[in-house]
Structure 1
Amino acid sequence: MIRVGLTGGVASGKSTVSALFAELGAVVVDADLIAREVVARGTPGLADVVSEFGAELLTDEGDLDRPAMGRLVFADPDARKRLEAIIHPLVHRRSAQLEAEAPADAVVVHDIPLLAEGARAGSFDAVVVVDVPQDVQVARMVGDRGWSLADAESRIAAQATREQRRAIATHVIDNTGTLDELRARVAEIHAELAARA
């Protein structure tokens, strides 16, 4: 087995890269997906979030109001730390469980948006960073996702810099080209990692 950390800034195309790795047979452990699971309606994780931040962060249906939570934690570093203290241990436990279930010769890709921020890069055999310039990130968030310029810049500012992400990389994927170019680069990296696994 080879353990791979996959990261990239918001709107870098990391989710697309993650899906391409999965198509090639990698076992993908998606931290964002798991982070949603551990605070789903009725979970102890959601109860802990409500206890810490209040029931006003719930929708009428009893789900976590993710946009409201996002606005709170990306504007307030202390609130973000308190939320991470609840969610990160739950995500780590579930990620370890999924990895333990993977085949012995697997390429296990841990899709972790905040890998550079969490100082965990050294725990992986390889780190793949999906990289685009900041102006591309902003254009994608505003143009494709309908975010305001202020929200886009706030989200980028809350994350590690490009330089910090690139500093932890064993492999960098430039995602400013076409989907075919992206697919080819992911296949090249996957082949190398599979050979090592």
Structure 2
Amino acid sequence: MEELNRPRWSGRQRRIGLTGGIASGKSSVARLLAERHGLPVLDADGFAREALAPRSPAALAVLERYGERVRPGAEDPPPAEKLGGSHRQDHPPDTGVAIDRAALGRIVFADALERRWLEELVHPLVRQRFSAELERLAAAPTVVLMVPLLFEAGLESLCSEVWLVDCDEHQQLERLIGRDRLSEVEARARIDAQWPLARKRPLVERRIENRGNPEALDDAVRAALQGPPEARTHPPSDRRR
């Protein structure tokens, strides 16, 4: 079976993989690293949004599959058009229209097969963007790779060390509900689509606690930058899928 925790990047550049659960506070840590410490931050979510820009090949594939369901302002289709039958539309989609990411999220977080289809479409494009940006930033002493699905997508091998932005599970749920205006059922579906924080904790070199104190978060980021990486609980060979 494939190793759960792959070997780290061993080049001269320090590459910090920044990960965590949805709504755990990754963006807050990334902002501190960029604004207070001047580090370049490569954002996987940003690359994914670029991949789904209007008229891009990935956006065309999404429109081909879901059609009116992912157009801005579109209402739910009649039952005959919902997933379960053919995904293809009777009329060609307007390829210049931006995809409604919230509508797309409702589809893929309600259906694991649809989520897998979207990941297989977008993840290779995100990998390509990381490769291109890392080449562009080859002379930078330190680069931050912010990747929510770092372990799930197998991208930890791009990093020399991995930081986990950590919080309590109930905090994660409450933050997600408040941030994205989701029901508890919708929020739990999004959390359950990722590995739980407890599964990621033994796999990282550094945990950044984010339980609600901005000053403590700032101190934790500064300490993580200045100190050596902490040892992982388990070596890579001991952790498998």
User: TM-score scaled by structure 1?
Assistant: 0.90
Query: Is residue 52 of structure 2 the alignment partner of residue 39 of structure 1?
Result: yes
Aligned residue for 2:154, secondary structure, equals coil
Which residue of 2 is the match for residue 9 of structure 1? 21
What is the CA–CA distance in structure 2 between the aligned matches of 1:47 and 1:154, rounded to whole Å?
26
Question: Contact conserved, 1:116 with 1:164, CA < 8 A, in 2?
Answer: no
Alignment of 1:175-194 (within 5 A): 175-192=210-227
Q: 1:48 aligns with which of 61, 82, 86?
A: 61
Count matched residues.
193
String of CA shifts for 1:71-98, please: whole Å, max 9, x gaps. Answer: 1111111111110111111111111111
Change (3 A) 1:144 1:59: closer
Alignment of 1:1-197 (within 5 A): 1-23=13-35, 24-59=37-72, 62-192=97-227
Structure 2 stretches of 5 or more lacking a match? Answer: 1-12, 74-95, 229-241
Greater helix content: 1
What is the CA–CA distance in structure 1 between the aligned matches of 2:170 and 2:120, rounded to whole Å?
31
Amino acid at match of 1:14: K
What is the CA–CA distance in structure 1 between the aligned matches of 2:63 and 2:132, rounded to whole Å?
26
Identity among equivalent positions (%) equals 36
Aligned residue for 2:208, secondary structure, equals strand
Larger radius of gyration: 2
- What is the RMSD of the two structures over their aligned residues, measured on CA atoms? 1.7
Aligned residue for 1:117, secondary structure, equals coil
User: TM-score scaled by structure 2?
Assistant: 0.75
Aligned residue for 1:159, secondary structure, equals coil
Of the structure 1 ranges 58-67 and 5-14, higher mean CA displacement relative to structure 2 is found in 58-67
Aligned residue for 1:90, secondary structure, equals helix
Question: Contact conserved, 1:21 with 1:190, CA < 8 A, in 2?
Answer: no
String of CA shifts for 1:121-177, please: whole Å, max 9, x gaps. Answer: 244210000011110011112234422111111111111011221122110011014
